[in-house]
Amino acid sequence: MSSSGKGKVWPAEWKTTKDLITGIPMRQLTNYLAHSFHLYFTNNGWYANGSKLLFGSDRNNSTNLFSLDLNSGEITQLTDYAQDAGVGIQQAFINANGLEAYFSKGKQIIAIHLQTLEEKVLYQAPEGFLLGNLSSTSDGVWLCTCVKEDLSDRIPTSLGAGYIGFEETARAKPHCKIVKIPTAGGESQVIHEDKVWIGHVNTSPTQPHLLSFCHEGPWDLVDHRIWCLNMETGEHWKIRPSEDNVFVGHEYWHEDGVTIGYHGYTESLHNKDGKFIGSIKYDNTDKAESAFPFQNMHVHSNDASLIVGDGQQTSAYHGAQYQDTVCLWKRREDGTMEGPRILCRHRGSFQAQKLHVHPRFSPDGSKVLFTSDMTGYGNLYLVDVPDFESLPIQPE
């Protein structure tokens, strides 16, 4: 055990309380006077056969990567960077082999061995470009990212806190390149580039030649949001070609690696019938969409049968006002959605990216993980998924 820094083991901080709405046990995994947060909702943080979970934390006034043992609750500090080191922990991604993870540090991509904690520089963004998110192919051979033209001399931005410069960057159409990097080391390859803001590069969890990406920006301003790329041929195409005044986004891969989930809305956003949850295969077959009346920042699912979202609808419930709830939807046999049913209340502020609730299922679908600053600091929470019918209905 190290007394400080890399390799330090922190004692278990977890505690279990009961949600005030549903009575379901809710385990708070972290409890420190600094923000802790799980990986971005498209990035699976579980590894070591589901016994450990990667997360980020701002302990000791600096952001670093940590691992939580889900059997003992012990926390191991994996990196030791000083304040303002520019590390991108929330976008960390675990290789399919479960032995290595990747994160950004300034313009570098760092690979860390999850057992030895050895670090190495895997890639450096070219001059005049900034790094985007990271995603590793399902065979573990390639790490993919997007590099974006640096417009900071023209556009003040703070995308992680308040989306400052978000619309301006999208309108500027920065030069962007999707890059694949050998995880074993070696020369990187540009596999797609365009004069448009590209983001959310997400590799399929089962198909090593496929990744999705988006044209970033306000959904109603981009030419088209969701795209798919065949990394072997370079062919790319629109996912769910949109009709006029229909906007989708926050895309993610289902566990099958061939289906992409999303949510969206029509131009009549204030009409409760204008919002929907959907999924479609990468070849644009088997589109399934269902209307639902509640506002979500993000939704996630392992397949189309059960979906979790960070519902933000204010509604009367037994005479009280309940909002900011983690909710579930279940797909009926006729394709319509039943729900939302309340899993628990998250009370997240969404003040910054690391404090977005970002609910997601565990790989086996038995648990929901989310981040909330309901105590004043961001912490990780884990809730078992009970029988759907046992959950209370979120009233309209």
**pLDDT tens figures, 175-220:** 999 999 999 999 999 999 999 999 999 999 999 999 999 999 988 8
Task: For residue range 55-79, list pLDDT tens digits in order.
Answer: 999 999 999 999 999 999 999 999 9
Rg (C-alpha) for the chain, rounded Å, is: 20
Question: Over pLDDT 70: what percentage of the chain?
Answer: 91
pTM: 0.93
Question: Over pLDDT 90: what percentage of the chain?
Answer: 72
Q: How far apart are CA 304 and CA 286, in angstroms?
A: 11
Q: What is the mean pLDDT of residues 227-235?
A: 97
Cβ 95 vs Cβ 140: under 8 Å: yes
The dihedral built from the CA positions of residue 183, 101, 180 and 82, taken in this order, carries a sign that is negative
Q: What is the chain's mean pLDDT, rounded?
A: 90
Task: For residue range 259-283, list pLDDT tens digits in order.
Answer: 999 988 887 544 445 788 899 999 9
Task: For residue range 152-186, list pLDDT tens digits in order.
Answer: 888 877 666 666 788 888 899 999 999 999 999 99
Collapsing DSSP states into helix, strand and coil, what is residue 171?
helix
The dihedral built from the CA positions of residue 126, 129, 134 and 135, taken in this order, carries a sign that is negative
Which are the contacts of 30, defined by CB distance < 8 A and separation ≥ 6? 13, 14, 36, 55, 57, 68, 75, 379, 380
**Which residue type does 232 have?**
E
Whether the pLDDT of residue 353 is over 90: the answer is: no
Tokens 């589901």 correspond to: 50
